Structure 1
Amino acid sequence: METNNSDWRHSVMPAVFTWFKESKSGALEIDIDATQKYAADILKVQGKGGSRMGGLVGSGTLGENSYISVEQRLTLLKAFSEVAKEYNVPLISGAAAETKEEVAKIVEGLATVGVDTVMIMPPKTKTLPSDVEMYDYYELAEETARNAGVTIMPYNNPDAAGYHAISTDLLRKISVLPNVTALKISTIDVSIIETLILENKDLKVLAGVDSVTVFAGLAGACGGITGVGAIFPKASVSMQEHVLKGEWAEANKISQALNSLSYLDAQPLLMEYLKLAMGIHHNDVAGGLRTYGLKLTQPQIDDVQARYILAKERLGALDLL
């Protein structure tokens, strides 16, 4: 697939939010039109160097995938697929399951609605699977994806509650499966990225935590998936432009400007926090950017607002709003 980049993995991609509206009964339902519009608005934005987001990540953690039904999710992703095709970027979504058979079924379903790459979380089981069991899980996901005409991105997120860490040895083994397009490493400890890249310079690794974008780039990550970039896309794209050029001082200026918000991306309530920040950004806290997630306390709301204001002031000084 052609994109705005010669290789979409050498870019940053937004994990976009799901917008809601009230139904006639007063219940919240997904607002497909608004969700498509704001996804498109993010993909339109250019960084200071002229590049744009390299992909679209839909119905992920920030897209409330833990709260919506399978049918709602597939409908939403089909709508995202239209936006991704319009802007000539790949559509990426995730799969989390307890068994290899279940994850294979999810991959098959996502392939039918236009998803190009499936981020595969480790098995979400109470007990830690052996490396053999974990490898079998990813091997079947890869085989299923290959047969369905899509690729997979193994997703190591050891800091997230409920997900087992993938050992470095296992990451090496699954990274060379035929239809693995990249690894997504979501942790504030980027040493694992450096270890893998030193052993295989051709390996593609995407960072998944906004606060370590620059450090991940120094360690060898070629791109990233961003939540904060859905709020401040110009800043996120510009920072990645500097990272890819090795302009570390300039990249770090933007990272520092964003850091008050980027901190929230590594917290358990990242979806609730960042969606509130997006609501403040669009003056829409009580509208389309309401959430199915947990209700925040007033001190939490005040903290997010203060962090948003600080980031906005700093980015304004860098001409990155």
Structure 2
Amino acid sequence: MSSKWDGVMPAVFTWLKESKSGAFEIDFDTTQKQAAGVLKTQGKGGSRMSGLVGSGTLGENGYLSTKQRLSLLEALSEVSKECNVPLISGAAAETKEELAKIVEGLAKVGVDTVMVMPPKTKAIPSEKEMYEYYALSEATANDVGVTIMPYNNPDAAGYHPLSTDLLLRLSVLPKVTALKISTIDVSIIETLMLENKDLKILAGVDTVTVHAGLAGACGGITGVGVIFPKASVTMQEHISNGEWDKANKISQALNSLSYLDAQPLLMEYLKLAMGIHHNDIAGGLRTFGKKLTKQQIDDVRARYILAKERLEALDLIS
């Protein structure tokens, strides 16, 4: 399993199908097939995605039971091993003890790196409490043979932001492999990199991929890249080579869809766009989440078509 963190990693969708009773259930075969197809797509420079993110926000995570989630990750672990990339998934809990148990469970089904989100508490934890929460997850990761990735998402409601001082303290723990920073304020990334130029930071918002690269991020976790993987990988190739004009052209081509990555219904929107891309609109509309209105569906379709036309002009449709 390759642990090269420089690059882009797709946060793949969880595909659903109707059971005999008419209820939705996980379509493991389609989910595996789609994930493998994304990982095997090459950019113009010959590189590929460098990791696989499963059962995240875009993977219906908020609606899956623990049993469903672990079964899904076990299936995706087969794909990550086949493609020789790490499998990444998130974890959050109210207490550090509960979090440690989640890390243990994820390790058992083949997850290599756990994105650890801040504690799910209404009260804001102190810096000491926050550090202890992450420190126990790191110690647990060491015991079960995985790594962790502290996940700072200050733009999302319900997530306690991690201070730059805390992120720097966590970054030097032995089993912390990278930091995920999901924000449109890339100055956070720049501040961290100025303190430690050797940090591995992954951006988590598609609209700022190029700006995050300019600030020092070594890659990103992408939703739009699941739909247009050739474009996403090629853009990251240009970022890694310092070819900012070329990277920005691709970013501009993707902008109509990237906008959706920062919306509350990002999972529903981007999953529909993926369904349109694969001529499987019905599949893209199968979700445990919100049902989209006709106006929302038409808007996603228009945004998808615009991005596709722009990428076709750049020869970036795989």
Both structures adopt the same fold (TM-score exceeding 0.5): yes
1:92 counterpart SS class: strand
Deviation of 1:101 (Å): 1.0
Q: Report 1:181-192 matches (<5 A).
A: 181-192=177-188
1:97 counterpart SS class: coil
1:50 alignment partner in structure 2: 46
Cα deviations by residue, 1:61-98 (Å, 9 ceiling, x for unpaired): 00001001100111110110001010111100000111
Q: Partners in 1 of 2:268 and 2:113 — Cα distance?
A: 25
Q: Report 1:234-245 matches (<5 A).
A: 234-245=230-241
Q: TM-score, normalised by structure 2?
A: 0.98
Question: Which segment is superposed worse, 52-61 or 282-291?
Answer: 282-291
Q: Partners in 2 of 1:51 and 1:24 — Cα distance?
A: 42
Q: Which structure 2 residue ranges, 5 or more long, are not aligned?
A: none
Pairing 1:161–2:157 present: yes
Q: Which structure 1 residue ranges, 5 or more long, are not aligned?
A: none
2:198 alignment partner in structure 1: 202
Give the counterpart of 1:305 among 280, 301, 307.
301
Code of the aligned partner of 2:41: V
Code of the aligned partner of 2:40: K
Cα deviations by residue, 1:3-35 (Å, 9 ceiling, x for unpaired): xxxx52101000000011111111110010110
1:19·1:289 contact (CA, 8 Å) conserved in 2?
no
2:274·2:284 contact (CA, 8 Å) conserved in 1?
no
Root-mean-square deviation (CA, aligned residues, Å) is: 1.0
2:276·2:284 contact (CA, 8 Å) conserved in 1?
no
Give the counterpart of 2:63 among 58, 67, 70.
67
Give the counterpart of 2:125 among 106, 109, 129.
129
2:75 alignment partner in structure 1: 79
1:19 alignment partner in structure 2: 15
2:170 alignment partner in structure 1: 174
Deviation of 1:289 (Å): 5.2
1:20·1:289 contact (CA, 8 Å) conserved in 2?
no
1:209·1:266 contact (CA, 8 Å) conserved in 2?
yes
Cα deviations by residue, 1:278-319 (Å, 9 ceiling, x for unpaired): 111112121365110011222222211111111001001000
Q: Partners in 2 of 1:124 and 1:308 — Cα distance?
A: 34
Q: Partners in 2 of 1:21 and 1:288 — Cα distance?
A: 11
1:122·1:156 contact (CA, 8 Å) conserved in 2?
yes
1:286 counterpart SS class: helix
1:114 alignment partner in structure 2: 110
Code of the aligned partner of 1:33: D
Give the counterpart of 2:137 among 134, 137, 141.
141
Q: Partners in 1 of 2:135 and 2:256 — Cα distance?
A: 39
Code of the aligned partner of 1:241: E
Q: Partners in 2 of 1:104 and 1:304 — Cα distance?
A: 39
Q: Partners in 1 of 2:224 and 2:283 — Cα distance?
A: 20
1:182·1:203 contact (CA, 8 Å) conserved in 2?
yes
Code of the aligned partner of 1:286: A
2:98 alignment partner in structure 1: 102
1:31·1:288 contact (CA, 8 Å) conserved in 2?
no
Q: Partners in 2 of 1:317 and 1:27 — Cα distance?
A: 41
Give the counterpart of 1:193 among 184, 189, 196.
189
2:92·2:120 contact (CA, 8 Å) conserved in 1?
yes
Code of the aligned partner of 2:56: G
After TM superposition, where is structure 1 displaced by more than 3 Å over at least 4 residues in a row? none
1:36 alignment partner in structure 2: 32
Cα deviations by residue, 1:119-141 (Å, 9 ceiling, x for unpaired): 00001111111111111100001
Question: Which segment is superposed worse, 52-61 or 288-297?
Answer: 288-297
What percentage of aligned pairs have identical amino acids?
A: 80
Cα deviations by residue, 1:253-286 (Å, 9 ceiling, x for unpaired): 0000001101111111111111111111112121
Q: TM-score, normalised by structure 1?
A: 0.97
1:292 alignment partner in structure 2: 288
Q: Partners in 2 of 1:295 and 1:289 — Cα distance?
A: 8
